[in-house]
């Protein structure tokens, strides 16, 4: 093969340092290198893994910041509950800061009076050292005594079957409650309550402050109008929802107190308040109220009256849950049963008793936001019942 033919098949190139006085006649050609798009784009498994890691990190952060986030969430829920009342006082001529102060003082007074009035019945029924609890323990011991005998016989048979050298002495563990730990828990609860009250007041007194700041940040007038419409609609619907649920639970509490008093249950007002508060927890609250009322009836009443208490409560809670609340709230705001139960489980695991009370309001807020924000429509579809 000649040199000319070899040069003809070679790719053109350009000298890095051409000699002086000599012009380069070669043409530089751009060579396109094929790129595999699948190799550059992240795979589905990578996206799933990154989403899982992000979820774990968020949950860990929520658990670690429980002492800070729980008062904030409670304050937001209280703000949503009291916003309609503050707005009503504003229409009467009161400034926003004064209306917020009036509502907070009124709420604290109602809670304080309720605690003082119900402290004696609560000590009587909820204290494990009270005579009612001892009577209940005696009745339960009489019911479980046959099972205890069978278990004791099994233990004696297993001890006889074991060699003498392998028998272990029984260990008695005495548990003592640390006074310092109890004081630390009380201090944490007190700090959280004070933080919730103060933050709720500031949020109520701020009124539309954060909405106005959001409007200033948005670039176009159309975005500003959309943000104002969505924010006001969400706030009004959330306030209306919580107000209707509170009215429904209050009605159930009053009906329970009247029926329990008619049957002859002691402390009927206390049981009405307990039922009304626990009813804020869907499903779990009604089940807990049923167990407590049945246990109290077993140690306080006799004969047919004992069965009247759970039967009457089942009738009341069925009417409230299946007829009254759907009419007040509306079918559009009813939540998926499975999602609600999972939210209660997750809230109790994450934040304990406080998480139980926060789970459903958080789910409702997310549902209302998803109904008005298109990007969250998929989440809203899974949360809704229909």
Residue (of 312, 354, 360) closest to 185 by Cα position = 354
- Distance of CA 98 to CAs 94, 95, 204, Å? 6, 5, 10
pLDDT at residue 4 is higher than 60: no
Determine contact, residues 383/366, Cβ cutoff 8 Å. yes
3-class secondary structure, 177: coil
Residue (of 271, 265, 268, 242) closest to 358 by Cα position = 242
Q: What is the pLDDT of residue 332?
A: 59
Q: Which residue has better confidence, 46 or 105? A: 105
pLDDT at residue 29 is higher than 70: no
Question: Could you tell me which residues come within 8 angstroms of residue 190 by beta carbon, excluding any fewer than 6 positions away?
Answer: none
d(CA 256, CA 262): 10
Residue 131, both tokens: 């005579």
pLDDT at residue 135 is higher than 70: yes
3-class secondary structure, 335: strand
Determine contact, residues 383/370, Cβ cutoff 8 Å. yes
- Torsion sign over Cα 153, 155, 158, 162: negative
Determine contact, residues 200/192, Cβ cutoff 8 Å. no
Could you tell me what percent of the chain has a pLDDT over 90? Answer: 21
pLDDT at residue 375 is higher than 90: no
pLDDT at residue 367 is higher than 60: yes
Q: What is the pLDDT of residue 42?
A: 61
146: burial class by Cβ within 10 Å (0-12, 13-18, 19+)? Answer: exposed
Q: Which residue has better confidence, 3 or 304? A: 304
Mean pLDDT over 12-32 rounds to: 48
Lowest mean pLDDT among 109-123, 128-142, 187-201: 128-142
Determine contact, residues 357/281, Cβ cutoff 8 Å. yes
Q: What is the CA radius of gyration of the chain?
A: 34
Residue 155, both tokens: 């233990």
d(CA 81, CA 75): 10
pLDDT digits (tens, 9 = 90+) for 165-220: 555 555 555 445 557 776 777 788 888 889 999 999 999 998 878 878 888 888 88
CB atoms within 10 A of CB 314: 13
Residue 268, both tokens: 């009927």
Looking at the chain, how many residues does it have? Answer: 386
Q: Which CB contacts under 8 angstroms, 24+ apart, belong to 54-63? A: 59/350, 62/350, 62/351, 63/350, 63/351
Q: What is the pLDDT of residue 9?
A: 45
pLDDT category of residue 153 using cuts at 50, 70 and 90: low
Residue (of 379, 249, 218, 367) closest to 317 by Cα position = 249
Q: Which residue has better confidence, 124 or 195? A: 195
Q: What is the pLDDT of residue 202?
A: 93
Q: What is the pLDDT of residue 366?
A: 84
Residue 384: phi, psi to the nearest 5? Answer: -70, 155
pLDDT digits (tens, 9 = 90+) for 54-100: 888 988 998 888 888 889 988 988 888 888 888 889 999 989 999 99
Q: 228-251: string of b/e by CB count within 10 Å (b at 16+)?
A: beebeebbebbbbbbbbbeebbeb
pLDDT category of residue 106 using cuts at 50, 70 and 90: very high
When the pLDDT of each residue in the chain is averaged and rounded to a whole number, the result is: 79
In SS3 terms, 161-181 reads as HCCHHHCCCCCCCCCCCCHHH
- Distance of CA 25 to CAs 21, 28, 131, 338, Å? 13, 10, 109, 76
pLDDT digits (tens, 9 = 90+) for 266-300: 889 999 999 999 998 888 889 999 999 998 898 88
pLDDT at residue 112 is higher than 70: yes
């Amino acid at each position: 093969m000649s040199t000319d033919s070899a040069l003809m098949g070679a790719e053109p190139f350009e000298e890095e340092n051409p000699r002086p006085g000599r012009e380069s006649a070669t043409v530089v050609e751009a060579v396109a290198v094929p790129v595999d798009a699948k190799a550059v784009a992240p795979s589905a498994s990578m996206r799933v893994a990154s989403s899982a890691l992000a979820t774990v990190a968020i949950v860990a952060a929520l658990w670690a910041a429980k002492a800070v986030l729980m008062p904030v969430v409670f304050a937001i829920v209280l703000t949503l509950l009291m916003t309609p009342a503050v707005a009503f006082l504003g229409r009467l001529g009161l400034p926003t800061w004064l209306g917020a102060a009036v509502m907070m003082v009124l709420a604290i007074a109602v809670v304080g009076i309720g605690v003082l009035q119900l402290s004696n019945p609560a000590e009587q029924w909820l204290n494990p050292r009270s005579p009612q609890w001892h009577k209940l323990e005696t009745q339960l011991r009489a019911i479980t005594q046959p099972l205890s005998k069978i278990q004791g016989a099994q233990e004696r048979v297993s001890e006889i079957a074991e060699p003498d050298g392998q028998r272990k002495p029984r260990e008695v563990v005495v548990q003592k409650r640390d006074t310092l730990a109890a004081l630390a828990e009380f201090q944490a609860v007190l700090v959280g309550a004070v933080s919730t009250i103060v933050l709720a007041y500031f949020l109520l007194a701020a009124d539309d402050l954060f909405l106005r700041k959001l409007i200033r940040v948005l670039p176009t007038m159309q975005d500003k109008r959309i943000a104002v419409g969505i924010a006001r609609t969400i706030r009004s619907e959330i306030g209306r929802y919580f107000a209707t649920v509170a009215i429904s639970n209050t009605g159930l509490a009053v009906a329970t107190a009247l029926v329990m008093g008619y049957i002859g249950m002691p402390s009927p007002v206390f049981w009405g308040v307990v039922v009304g508060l626990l009813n804020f927890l869907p499903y779990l609250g009604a089940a807990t109220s049923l167990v407590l009322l049945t246990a109290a009836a077993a140690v306080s009443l006799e004969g047919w009256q004992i069965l009247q208490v759970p039967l009457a409560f089942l009738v009341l809670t069925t009417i409230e849950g299946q007829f009254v609340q759907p009419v007040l709230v509306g079918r559009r705001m009813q939540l998926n049963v499975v999602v609600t139960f999972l939210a209660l489980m997750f809230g109790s695991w994450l934040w304990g008793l406080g998480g139980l009370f926060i789970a459903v309001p958080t789910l409702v807020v997310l549902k209302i936001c998803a109904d008005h924000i298109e990007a969250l429509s998929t989440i809203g579809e899974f949360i809704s019942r229909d």
